[in-house]
Structure 1
Amino acid sequence: MTYKDELLEKLRRNTHEQYPMPNTPIDGISYDDTVKQFVDMSMSVGSKVVMAKPNEKLDDIVRNAYPQAKTIASNIAELTIATINPDTVAEAQDLNGTDVGVVYGQIGVAENGCVWIPQDMKEKAICFISEYLVIVLPKSGIVNNMHEAYDRICMPETGLGTFISGPSKTADIEQALVMGAQAARGVTVVIREE
């Protein structure tokens, strides 16, 4: 039995009275132009947004966005300029020094500009250790709000994923804004027709 199972079993044993969840429908915010709202919100939180042209190669998009990048990490098969694959490294530390990480996003949320990224790669550290992160998002995956996003999440086999909204930033120390404090210094969202 895992620690999680043990903990849940203890909670079940010590719960004396249970109440059903209320069935209250929640209508989240919606937008006339969900894609435009997502783009605007993504840019307001510090992301760059690229609307891919039909048949535009991902290699070209990444190279144009980050021409100086030497180490590009991705497990996306069509990205032939990737120099390291997060599925084949021995440990997460092997991704240290990655200039650009490129991952698939599943859902973009217009309400707050965040993107759901399922962990479909062996080492999720690529989302946080890269200096810059490129998220490839299907246009059809853009939804109005978090309620719609949670309804559409398809969990990968790992059972893990994360929402990312723009580059990492903090102003905790002396109220000075620091970019890339805990993760990528810059995020580019590539929106494509799929």
Structure 2
Amino acid sequence: MSSKDEILTAIRQNTVQRYEYPDWEIKATVYPDKISRFCEISQFVGGKAVVLQEAEDINDIIRSHFPEARKIASQMEEITCATIRPDTLAEAQELDGTDVAVVEGAFGVAENGAVWIPQNVKHKALYFIAEALVIVLDRHSLVHNMQEAYELLAGQTYPFGTFISGPSKTADIEQALVMGAHGACTCLVILK
């Protein structure tokens, strides 16, 4: 028997009164308007979220936010402004120099502006190597909080997946916040 087992056994033997775990329900925050909250928090974390209107073309929105972009990478068929299809590239290194990556999110979280992105491209480097990241997300796939998000992920397996909330950020001991230090400098979420 290990010393850990000995200690646990001694505790169990000397416990006089035992208590059941409390029966409680976690009351997570629920928002009256998930879309507005998601947009507000996206801006708070350094990104931006826009709601695609019925008459708008998603490609026009991308071009208006990134007019200087020359190398736009996307596997999404509806993204006609893409100049490269990343899954046709043999090596992830060929993504170097990507100005804008346009990817599809599975669902978003109103609580913190995070978007779950399962790997649905050949090279996951696409999510992190571009100067700007555009995430296309169905506005009806927003959940209120992380508890709901983890319930959606329960029991599913992915080769890779990540939550992304705004552009990359880092802060040093002097509390200087730097955006885009180790990934996309800007992040735009388009809610369609």
TM-score range, shorter chain: 0.7 to 0.9
Whether the 8 Å CA contact 1:120–1:158 is kept in 2: the answer is no
Q: How does 1:84-99 map to 2 (within 5 A)?
A: 84-99=84-99
Structure 1, residues 54-87: CA drift from partner, whole Å, max 9, x if none?
A: 1422211111110110000110011111111221
**Which is worse superposed, 149-158 or 172-181?**
149-158
Whether the 8 Å CA contact 1:136–1:190 is kept in 2: the answer is yes
* Distance in structure 1 (CA, Å) of the matches to 2:191 and 2:41: 14
Whether the 8 Å CA contact 2:102–2:136 is kept in 1: the answer is yes
Structure 1, residues 75-126: CA drift from partner, whole Å, max 9, x if none?
A: 0011111111221111111100000000011111011111111111111111
**Which is worse superposed, 57-66 or 181-190?**
57-66
Cα pair distance change 1:98/1:23, threshold 3 Å: farther
Q: Does 1:141 align with 2:141?
A: yes
Which structure 1 residue ranges, 5 or more long, are not aligned? 1-21
Cα pair distance change 1:161/1:55, threshold 3 Å: farther
Deviation at 1:27, TM superposition (A): 3.0
Secondary structure of the residue aligned to 2:63 is helix
| Cα RMSD (Å) | 2.3
Secondary structure of the residue aligned to 2:54 is coil
Which residue number in structure 2 is paired with residue 127 of structure 1? Answer: 127
What TM-score results when the alignment is normalised by the length of structure 2? Answer: 0.82
Q: Does 1:110 align with 2:103?
A: no
Q: How does 1:149-188 map to 2 (within 5 A)?
A: 149-153=149-153, 158-172=158-172, 174-188=174-188
Which residue number in structure 1 is paired with residue 7 of structure 2? Answer: none
Which residue number in structure 1 is paired with residue 65 of structure 2? Answer: 65
Aligned pairs, number: 173
Whether the 8 Å CA contact 1:155–1:161 is kept in 2: the answer is no
Cα pair distance change 1:125/1:99, threshold 3 Å: same
Whether the 8 Å CA contact 2:131–2:184 is kept in 1: the answer is yes
Choose 1 or 2 for highest CA Rg: 2
- Give the aligned residue type for 1:47: G
Which residue number in structure 2 is paired with residue 18 of structure 1? Answer: none
Whether the 8 Å CA contact 1:107–1:153 is kept in 2: the answer is no
Identity value in percent: 53
Cα pair distance change 1:90/1:156, threshold 3 Å: farther
